[in-house]
Structure 1
Amino acid sequence: MTQAALEIEGLRHAYRPGVPALDGVSLRAAGGAVTVLLGPNGAGKSTLFALATGLLRPTAGTVRVHGHDLTREPGKALARMGVVFQQPTLDLDLTVTQNLRYFAALHGIPRAEADRRIDGELERLALSDRRGEKIRALNGGHRRRVEIARALLHRPALLLLDEPTVGLDIPARRGLIAHVHALCAQDGIAVLWATHLIDEIDPATDSVVVLHRGTVRASGTVAAVNAQTGGASIADSFDRLTARPAIPNAAPNADGAAA
């Protein structure tokens, strides 16, 4: 098996004893493809992202980015990673260019090279005409695109996106999804996309990891997950994998059915 851009094995984390937020999670994200981390709210997606980016230390398990263990070689692992968190982190009172230059400086990219990369990313994201505008003047879709441009400035091999379409309207969501898939095809990067929205999955190309209550319930291509569950679609499979268990000995209602 070839080395994946991201390899997570046996990841466990608990915010308090006896209540695991993640319980033995394992997954892989390959280069040139989108891997969708699909789960309902509260499944543990944001906890996994915090562990995968070094914001939290796991109780057990490993995270490797292109073979670099995040705990043992954090600098090498994080250098290969770009991240867009669910909550926006841009400085609203700086312009698009100022935000990007600041990030490039943090990564030690020389000013001339930084400006060259900024020009390229803004052109690719159709944001060149917004480069001098302050972030607070941009709509949600444009802000997300700036965050993606920022995450790509240091040429990562892995892009982590945590619920990136939150707050976007339908056209902006579709545009962002299409752009990320184009990045995979053009640059060969690996993407781990966390979402609870079924329609953000491309069933023809994406791999899926279904996370529920801190454990992986199924993973693989959409076809493989559907075959595993017997679902007619990924939406059907998701419902089956995350369904609440029936309440035993439920009292019947007036029609004789369980309440």
Structure 2
Amino acid sequence: MNTPIALSIEDLSFSYGKKKALDRINFRIQPGECTLLLGPNGAGKSTLFSLITRLYDSRGGNIELCGFNIKRQTRKALAKLGVVFQQTTLDMDLSVMQNLRYHTALHGMGRKQSMLRIQEELERLNMFNRRFEKIRQLNGGHRRRVEIARALLHKPSLLLLDEPTVGLDVPSRQDIVDHVHRLAAEENMAVLWASHLIDEVYPDDHVIVLDKGRIKANGTVNEVLQLTGTSTIKDAFNKLTQGAQA
């Protein structure tokens, strides 16, 4: 039996009044594929993520998560999704463990299974020894690790990351980038990562360049470089977006 496509976006459009934020975009992400979504401010990245997570309701087009239609089979579709938003959504006055236990309860996981999954994910991120600390006691990098651990507790098929390394120091940022790429490879998990940092793109990644609501490039790093006749993703991005700031 073939594994279903992790994420399928077909002919997706969205407007804010008369302003078109997304204009008939199409792409697919396969299991185990790490896809970097690059685009300048106002390109439509946040709108796309809001549609995938059902914060917004799309009027035109189709979204499927692991074969489940996001509108008709919302619960089954979203159960396949793990999300790390740009702004933290952790409760600052609760401990790491309390934040994670609340998430497992929302997914209907029993106490024994919850504790095993929490320990597993925190250990992978070198955070298990800090499980009883309150979130406000942690620095930005450690808070991000907790959010990534939380997003993975129910073993999603697709991990959605919205600018997860914004404001982090270079070592913390690199640790998270490396960890997510390892997850994609080792767990056969699909990743859609919105970023404005070109150095977060790895050579084996898939790249989507979004500008003014339209996809300007969609392919492997090498395919995007060939399309633009450039030697680096930074140069390719600048050429596709006429030098706009990511």
- The answer to whether the superposition gives a TM-score over 0.5 is yes
Q: Does 1:12 align with 2:8?
A: no
C-alpha spacing 1:2/1:75, structure 2 compared with 1 (3 Å): closer
Residue correspondence of structure 1 range 1-259 to structure 2 within 5 A:
3-17=4-18, 19-203=19-203, 205-243=204-242
* Structure 1 residue identity aligned to 2:220: T
Query: 2: CA distance between counterparts of 1:243 and 1:182?
Result: 33
> SS of 1:126's equivalent?
coil
Normalized against structure 2, the TM-score is what? Answer: 0.96
> SS of 2:64's equivalent?
strand
**How far apart are residue 25 of structure 1 and its match?**
1.3
Query: 2: CA distance between counterparts of 1:86 and 1:29?
Result: 21
Identity of aligned residues (%): 56
Which aligned segments of 4 or more residues in structure 1 are displaced greater than 4 angstroms? Answer: none
* Structure 1 residue identity aligned to 2:206: S
**How far apart are residue 31 of structure 1 and its match?**
1.1
Query: 2: CA distance between counterparts of 1:35 and 1:21?
Result: 21
> SS of 2:37's equivalent?
strand
**How far apart are residue 131 of structure 1 and its match?**
0.2
Q: What's the C-alpha RMSD, in Å, of the aligned pairs?
A: 1.3
Query: 1: CA distance between counterparts of 2:16 and 2:135?
Result: 34
Unpaired runs of at least 5, structure 1: 246-259
Q: Is the contact between residue 225 and residue 232 of structure 2 (CA under 8 Å) also seen in structure 1?
A: yes
Query: 2: CA distance between counterparts of 1:3 and 1:103?
Result: 26
Query: 2: CA distance between counterparts of 1:29 and 1:174?
Result: 23
Structure of higher CA gyration radius? 1
**How far apart are residue 164 of structure 1 and its match?**
0.5
Query: 2: CA distance between counterparts of 1:61 and 1:3?
Result: 19
Aligned residues: 243
Query: 2: CA distance between counterparts of 1:124 and 1:109?
Result: 20
Deviations 1:160-191 (A, max 9, x none): 00001011111111000000011111111000
Q: Is the contact between residue 51 and residue 57 of structure 1 (CA under 8 Å) also seen in structure 2?
A: yes
Normalized against structure 1, the TM-score is what? Answer: 0.91
C-alpha spacing 1:223/1:244, structure 2 compared with 1 (3 Å): closer
Query: 2: CA distance between counterparts of 1:63 and 1:135?
Result: 34
Query: 2: CA distance between counterparts of 1:177 and 1:170?
Result: 10
**How far apart are residue 3 of structure 1 and its match?**
3.7
Query: 2: CA distance between counterparts of 1:127 and 1:13?
Result: 39
Q: Is the contact between residue 38 and residue 208 of structure 1 (CA under 8 Å) also seen in structure 2?
A: yes
**How far apart are residue 54 of structure 1 and its match?**
0.7
**How far apart are residue 227 of structure 1 and its match?**
0.8
Query: 2: CA distance between counterparts of 1:172 and 1:244?
Result: 28
Query: 2: CA distance between counterparts of 1:166 and 1:235?
Result: 18
Q: Is the contact between residue 107 and residue 154 of structure 2 (CA under 8 Å) also seen in structure 1?
A: yes
**How far apart are residue 218 of structure 1 and its match?**
0.6
The equivalent of 1:255 in structure 2 is none
* Structure 2 residue identity aligned to 1:221: T
Deviations 1:88-109 (A, max 9, x none): 0000000000000001001110
* Structure 1 residue identity aligned to 2:241: T
**How far apart are residue 5 of structure 1 and its match?**
0.4
**How far apart are residue 51 of structure 1 and its match?**
0.2
Query: 2: CA distance between counterparts of 1:93 and 1:234?
Result: 41
